[in-house]
């Protein structure tokens, strides 16, 4: 067996001794998420980093890390190129799963649900708030498409950098925001002996949430 494989097999981590108890939990999972996010903001370097999993119409999955940019309009807000792989997959199957993992807290949150684009005005406002380099980059990168070499990408950036120099940089029509409105959310708290706490919320037809505890 390769040395790296042996080292991986023997990895062990000690987790915090926090716990999830049913008593005192909010009836709405978004409230619990906000509480956990506030804790993560104090101790996690990239608390807004989340794994976004999408699938094609044929159920082929793919995942990547994106950044949460708001908990707005009853959902999780993030931004990307609509013509990227994830954008095309969301167009074909507008359902996805988000996963947050905060190692420092021994916590994980999963949110599953339907995804829709945010209004154009909302995307415009967020795009205008981005650093100039990021706005230029949105024009330069035809995300997920093949490119000959790094020089070609750099030349595209320089082209748009000159084009918009001294003026306003509009939001590309192919770039904007999405909102994932969760129908299911799971909260995972690491415990000793791998007997972790897992609490799942499911949205019912009447809009209320039902909560259950899951085996680790």
pLDDT, one tens digit per residue, over 57-112 is 899 999 999 999 999 878 999 999 999 999 999 999 999 999 999 999 999 999 99
Q: How many domains is the chain partitioned into structurally? A: 1
In a domain, 43, yes or no: yes
In a domain, 49, yes or no: yes
CB 141 within 8 A of CB 153: yes
CA 174, CA 91: separation in Å to the nearest integer?
13
What is the set of active-site residues?
A: 194
In a domain, 82, yes or no: yes
DSSP state letter for 215: -
Please report the pLDDT score of residue 72 as a whole number: 80
pLDDT category of residue 4 using cuts at 50, 70 and 90: low
In a domain, 165, yes or no: no
CA neighbor of 143 nearest in space, from 124, 156, 161: 156
Cα atoms in the 13 Å half-sphere on the side-chain side of 94: 10
Rounded to an integer, the average pLDDT of 160-180 is: 97
Please report the pLDDT score of residue 16 as a whole number: 67
What CATH number is associated with residue 71?
Answer: 2.30.110.10
- Domain limits for position 111: 14-130+173-214
In a domain, 35, yes or no: yes
Cβ atoms < 10 Å from Cβ of 34: 13
């Amino acid at each position: 067996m390769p040395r790296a494989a042996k080292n991986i097999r023997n990895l062990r981590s000690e987790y915090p001794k926090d716990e999830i108890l049913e008593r005192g939990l909010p009836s709405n999972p978004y409230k619990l998420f906000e509480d956990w996010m506030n804790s993560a903001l104090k101790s996690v370097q990239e608390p807004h980093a989340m794994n976004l999993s999408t699938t094609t119409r044929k159920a082929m999955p793919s995942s990547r890390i994106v950044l949460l940019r708001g908990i707005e309009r009853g959902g999780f807000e993030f931004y990307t190129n609509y013509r990227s792989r994830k954008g095309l997959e969301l167009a074909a199957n507008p359902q996805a799963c988000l996963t947050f993992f905060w190692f420092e807290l021994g916590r994980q949150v999963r949110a599953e649900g339907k995804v829709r684009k945010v209004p154009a005005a909302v995307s415009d406002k967020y795009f205008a708030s981005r650093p100039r380099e990021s706005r230029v980059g949105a024009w330069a990168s035809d995300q997920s498409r093949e490119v000959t070499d790094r020089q070609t990408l750099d030349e595209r950036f320089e082209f748009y950098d000159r084009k918009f120099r001294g003026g306003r940089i509009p939001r590309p029509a192919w770039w904007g925001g999405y909102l994932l409105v969760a129908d299911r959310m799971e909260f995972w708290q690491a415990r000793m002996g791998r007997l972790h706490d897992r609490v799942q919320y499911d949205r019912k037809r009447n809009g209320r949430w039902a909560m259950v505890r899951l085996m680790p």
